[in-house]
Amino acid sequence: MAEFDVDLFVIGGGSGGVRAARIAAGHGARVMVAEEYRMGGTCVIRGCVPKKLFVLGSHVHFEIADAAGFGWTIPSATFDWRTLVANKDKEIARLEGIYTTNVEKSGAHIVKTRAVFEDPHTLRLATGEALTAKHILIATGSAPNHGQMIPGIEHVISSNEVFHLEELPKRIVIQGGGYIALEFACIFAGFGSDVTVIYRGDNILRGFDEDVRLHVRAEMEREGITVLTGCTVSKVDRHGNEFTSHLTNGSSIASDKVMFAIGRHPNVANLGLEKAGVAINPRNGGIAVDNFSRSSVPHIYAIGDVTHRINLTPVAIREGHAFADTVFGKRPVEVDHATIPTAVFSQPEIGTVGLTEAEARAQFSRVDIYKTDFRPIKSTMSGRDTRILMKLVVDGTTDRVVGCHIVGDTAAEIVQAVAIAVKMKATKADFDATFALHPTAAEELVTMRTPTARYIREAAE
């Protein structure tokens, strides 16, 4: 008789947990996955995928507006929010089915229930059943965080509820300056809502390259989105179906919806972690893990957002795969968290990989900047007042390209390819030796010859 009921018990059926379960099962492990809500996790059910579908839908109004410059006469178009939501729900259900099927095909078993620790090797299911596992993987992700509990916080929605609104709000206030807040600000603006963004800092997109921050804000404001910085919402009053958001600067804003997108916290509550002896990282509130995703308890691991290292779906997937190969494939794999490409599906879109200018100047003694800001070819015919930003950050000593930042249509698609070059430590000379693909916006990445700025930090005496 086996010492444990399963070799691996995975808590959470999101992208990271599913990848770990499938790979571990492929290595011959007996695997069980517990998911209390829906297979697919945040990304598939209430995150990246439905958000991107909304982004694509909201961008149609740009295409309609631009068509006249290319000779098209399009009758007055109408938009139906409920049709969008219904079609999105169908697609998410389809993807959920695929996730479930793929796990089951791998040989892993799914239980649709909550699981919590009773001791380091025992999980108690909500059904009352107890199971023992040789190894346990925590992949419970994260959840929206409303921050300070202000008066009227019960009237505020998060990125969870926003996908299920019955009506498109005519006016919406969104608090937050990160990628989730800005993506939804652009989504609603694209569908015709009056949008106001509230952010406590001096400018949106903290942590991104300064030129990107300035460019995106200018483009958003050009499209009619109001961005108020240096203040926060201190109180929300409800008046029937309308709301008044009171700000710390003394002003107030009326709207049909109020949304907070000010961050996410790891889903560590009520899992019984204290019974298992799993330690929490005091710096970020996530489960503390080493470079192999191992927690303070040697046979318990954690991946993805619940560790609060880097909250990105591809990172969780890579960590889950590496965990399974390490523990069950007998091939130790350590995930390299450097040079991770990221995107913000705002309008305009952002794609970025590597260091910002500020990070490079702090790290290297010599930094060369190549930057261009131009009107895309489409706008010369459509008449749209928009510009593309492209920026390369180069280590001036080695000539290596250490950062790339793009704002404009398909920026994420371009940066995915550029990320390969940056990861391979390509030099600016390598970029220069690459033929341009004309006429494209991306050709600017290989035709920028003259630095727009050079920084030399003198060595301390």
User: Among all residues, which ones are annotated catalytic?
Assistant: 438
Return phi, psi of residue 372, to 5°. -140, 145
Which strand ranges, in their side-by-side order, compose the sheet holding 242-247? 233-239, 242-247, 252-255
Give the relative orientation of helices 15-26 and 313-327 as an angle to the nearest 10 degrees.
Answer: 20
CA distance 129 to 289: 28
What HEC string does 375-439 produce? CCHHHHHHCCCCCEEEEEEEECCCCEEEEEEEECCCHHHHHHHHHHHHHCCCEHHHHHCCCCCCC
Report the C-alpha gap between 293 and 2 in whole angstroms: 26
* Positive or negative: CA dihedral 20, 23, 28, 33: positive
Q: What share of the chain is helix, strand, coil (3-state, %, to 5)?
A: 35, 25, 40
For 374, the token pair is 């131009």
Question: How far apart, in whole angstroms, are the C-alpha atoms of residue 229 and residue 412?
Answer: 26
